[in-house]
Copies of this chain bind each other. A is one copy, B any other.
């Protein structure tokens, strides 16, 4: 009789109803106070808050999620094996920005790795179950099916580097085009005229944009286009070394190199050294990313810094806005949002 209908509750955390009884109000009113609705009188609000404090009431997330059809959680999906995640400062910076922006929110951040097929399978299940209100996607390759899955499931998502100029998802990116221009203009102003470029993998949109920036900066400075100064790389150190070797063979008169990443710049440095070219005496060298490698290279590498932490913050802003917009399913879609953040050239001894 006493325990009628009281199934699993051993210790028994207080419920909304109990708080309501204690405060002498109705359930709806307590709910309104908890959720910060303005339509509550000051006196009532105070009474409810007192009851909440006395009882140590904490809302039941599952009940709320079920009733309101939301989870108050978002996922940061990293389509890489965990190893890379820990190896690259990119992710830790991103996480810092995301965490900071989220810290005055009720939202909970989930970190999900989707490196292996198996993990991707799990993630698909996870998303199908709508266990998060939104998704942050970082470091996505051009042919990744994940963005489309997200679109199909109608889950709000923000991507950290658009897959192409026609990206349909809301995206945040650094100004790859402008960053490349900065690098090239920096070398031009240093008196260099034969500036080569080692590109990143061209199926990565950002790498393409860097090539565009490189080309336009040279053209605007009145230099004739010379496609022989452009050599494709693949973001690896070996690739950078090979590319540099090819460039030296083809254009022995080059006096500067803009590498599409610091790692490739490290490879290029090795090739230059083996060819007996001094840095920056014979050849100026500029990288991209301003990673730890840049600071520790010999000589220290001039590099283009991306505001990764801020990118993380902006991604959260946009995602939260999109989640909020979702509720009234009225006027959606029309304006794609693409935020582009400025880069900064960090000049060091290599140029």
Complex CA gap A66/B128 in Å reads: 19
Instruction: Knowing A11-B154, A69-B8, say if A129 contacts B58 (CB, 8 Å).
Output: yes
Q: Tell me the smallest distance from the CB of A61 to a CB of chain B, in Å.
A: 6
For window 80-126 of A, CB contacts with B under 8 Å fall at 82-83, 86, 89, 92, 95-96, 99, 103, 108, 110-111, 113, 118-119, 122, 125-126
How many chain copies does the complex carry? 2
For window 60-83 of A, CB contacts with B under 8 Å fall at 60-63, 65-66, 69, 71, 82-83
For window 37-72 of A, CB contacts with B under 8 Å fall at 56, 58-63, 65-66, 69, 71
Q: Are B118 and A103 in contact (CB under 8 A)?
A: yes
Is the CB of A305 closer than 8 A to any CB of chain B?
no
Residue in B62, B103, B110 whose CB lies within 8 Å of A110: B110
Contacts of A13 in B (CB 8 A): 130
Is the CB of A131 closer than 8 A to any CB of chain B?
yes
Residue in B58, B86, B99, B122 whose CB lies within 8 Å of A92: B86
Is the CB of A331 closer than 8 A to any CB of chain B?
no
Complex CA gap A11/B82 in Å reads: 34
Instruction: Knowing A69-B8, A118-B103, A154-B11, say if A82 contacts B96 (CB, 8 Å).
Output: yes
Complex CA gap A112/B4 in Å reads: 38
Is the CB of A329 closer than 8 A to any CB of chain B?
yes
Is the CB of A10 closer than 8 A to any CB of chain B?
yes
Complex CA gap A59/B111 in Å reads: 22
Q: Are A71 and B82 in contact (CB under 8 A)?
A: no
Closest B residue, CB atoms, query A89:
B86
Complex CA gap A23/B111 in Å reads: 37
Q: Tell me the smallest distance from the CB of A90 to a CB of chain B, in Å.
A: 11
Complex CA gap A56/B82 in Å reads: 30
Complex CA gap A71/B110 in Å reads: 15
For window 1-52 of A, CB contacts with B under 8 Å fall at 8, 10-11, 13
Closest B residue, CB atoms, query A110:
B110
Instruction: Knowing A118-B103, A154-B11, say if A131 contacts B61 (CB, 8 Å).
Output: yes
Q: Tell me the smallest distance from the CB of A174 to a CB of chain B, in Å.
A: 21
Contacts of A92 in B (CB 8 A): 82-83, 86
Contacts of A111 in B (CB 8 A): 111
Contacts of A66 in B (CB 8 A): 60, 62-63, 66
Complex CA gap A83/B118 in Å reads: 29
Q: Tell me the smallest distance from the CB of A292 to a CB of chain B, in Å.
A: 11
Q: Are B96 and A129 in contact (CB under 8 A)?
A: no
Closest B residue, CB atoms, query A329:
B10
A303-328 CB contact bits vs B (8 Å, 1 = yes)?
00000000000000000000000000
Which 4 residue pairs are nearest across A and B when measured between Cβ atoms? A62-B65, A62-B66, A86-B92, A58-B129
